[in-house]
Amino acid sequence: MATTSSCTNSWIKPNFSTSSSFTFKNPNTIKCSLQTPTLHFPNQSSAATTTYHQPLAPAKTPDSPSNSKPQWNIIQRAASMALDAVEKALTDYELQRPLPKTADPAVQIAGNFSPVPEQPVKHCLPVVGKIPESIQGVYVRNGANPLFEPQAGHHFFDGDGMIHAVRFDGGAASYACRFTETQRLVQERALGRPIFPKAIGELHGHSGVARLLLFYARGLFNLVDHRHGTGVANAGLVYFNNRLLAMSEDDLPYHVQITPNGDLKTVERYDFAGELESTMIAHPKLDPDSGELFALSYDVIKKPYLKYFRFSRNGEKSDDVEIPVSEPTMMHDFAITEKFVIVPDQQVVFKLSEMIRGGSPVVYDKNKVSRFGVLSKYAEDASGMKWVEVPDCFCFHLWNAWEEPATDEIVVIGSCMTPPDSIFNECDEGLKSVLSEIRLNLKTGKSTRKPIMSDDDQVNLEAGMVNRNKLGRKTRYAYLAIAEPWPRVSGFAKVDLLTGEVKKFMYGDNKYGGEPLFLPRDPNSDSEEDDGYILAFSHHETGGKSELQIVNAITMELEASIQLPSRVPYGFHGTFITSKDLATQA
């Protein structure tokens, strides 16, 4: 293929800086048996708005100017010194013993899982092949990218949110990546170091309890402000009501704007004009016909543990519907159909009491029977909810669901993961993620579950989507990441959900990527369901170069490859905003 981009700018070689003063100790580089590159913790680009090296200073309050440093009084300074000393002693104690792999930064953020600095917009990127004419707009993908070197335990999910954006305009492409300016990141940047507890990497055992107490003690002295959110906004992205929203289920969403030149700018922590007072999970569902947004919120401390709500296409929130669950349950994802919302109540639960006993608060409860709740999308309470048991089932993600009126069943498509808590807790058993069809019979209250692919075709499938114009309706195809060798992604699969046929696109030797995004060629046409393109970032671990691949979804052949000016770490979920939608941004 020849380079067809009309721009003249040459590709800038990624700069893996070795001058950062934040390097991992003992050894000074991050290493992992799964990763071959050894990358130092990065400096921020001089052109970026964020820097890694700022002197210790009081935390910024939400109403302070971005560069202001409020003055602490003598009591606050004394309290800060005392609490810092306690924290250092706690960290020294933690590091006397080997960290589990699920909390060891030398494992969790090694190789291309390691963070990168912000990058301002680079225009006229080299393109091998030709960008399809129908692709006009911006592809954005979220990910975890810690601003500071972890001082103790760190899980990959704990990193600060960073959005990578590739904008398409008339066959040319530009790239930028920026942190989402969460309250957590703003305050830690002002302090010059990490200060908020890491939800997975640090909050386990007695030391986790101690870190929580330390954090709230800092809040007591107004050294930090935890009243305006503690989340990282690193997981999901949705474009709704003329706003791009970045989300993680531990906080409210953040409104991020795409600037006219293709850059990213955080606008605010977004509460829907004061209507949203609780957290919102990272996978809300946008109905393709009504334009409504459906969402859940869960609480790990107090009742109600789970709430359901929706937003009109204009952003007006419904009243909360309390979903009756007996204990706080991990609720990372759910599903909708034309009439119903499908809520999984599975075996991974939160037991804060386990921290007192020295364990992790994220627990796989073998005695609990997984179940799926079916509730009308417009229910005002949960009295009409029907629960159907689905034994030994844990789906971290649900790809779609639809109604089968002839049999009075709900069909749910998800990847069933075993061991269920393997992402959070260290275990010897290898992870399996089996794409499955789950049928919930509303008449009998029984369920069935079966793998969609044959044993010969079986691979771990995690992260992906169906045609978003068909969400909640019967779909033929799903596009999912091939998560092998775990936790890396070697390619993606187009799976025929009816026949189980699998077509694969592999990134190639020493190349790995992430979630595939399906983009319909013409969103307004009645063309075939797979008439469109698949977009996915990939990275060559030996050459150190990252690309955005554009694959024809019908033929599964590469149409174009956009060579990116800097490394793109492996990340989480993304979306595409069309040029038409960009023109109406709030």
Distance CA 485, CA 483 (A): 6
Task: Compute and round to an integer the Cα radius of gyration of the chain.
Answer: 23
Q: What number of other Cβ atoms are within 10 A of residue 79's Cβ?
A: 18
Residue 6, judged by CB atoms within 10 A of its CB (0-12, 13-18, 19+), counts as exposed
Pick from 567, 586, 569, 585: nearest CA to 577:
585
Residue 206 labeled ligand binder: no
Per DSSP, the residues of 22-36 read: ---SSSSS--BTTB-
Distance CA 194, CA 214 (A): 13
Residue 539 labeled ligand binder: no
Helical segments of 317-378, H only: 353-356
In sign, the C-alpha dihedral spanning 518, 519, 525, 527 is negative
Q: Where are the beta strands (DSSP E) in 420-496?
A: 432-441, 447-451, 461-465, 477-482, 491-496
**Measuring CA to CA, how many Å separate 479 from each of 140, 182, 237, 395?**
17, 31, 18, 16
Residue 397 labeled ligand binder: yes
Residue 283 labeled ligand binder: yes
Token reading at 343: 């809520």
Q: What number of other Cβ atoms are within 10 A of residue 120's Cβ?
A: 16
Answer for the pair 238, 286: CB distance below 8 angstroms, yes or no. yes
**Measuring CA to CA, how many Å separate 161 from each of 139, 156, 236, 463?**
16, 11, 10, 17
Q: Annotated binding site: which residue ranges?
A: 283, 332, 397, 573
Q: Which residues are annotated as a binding site for Fe cation?
A: 283, 332, 397, 573
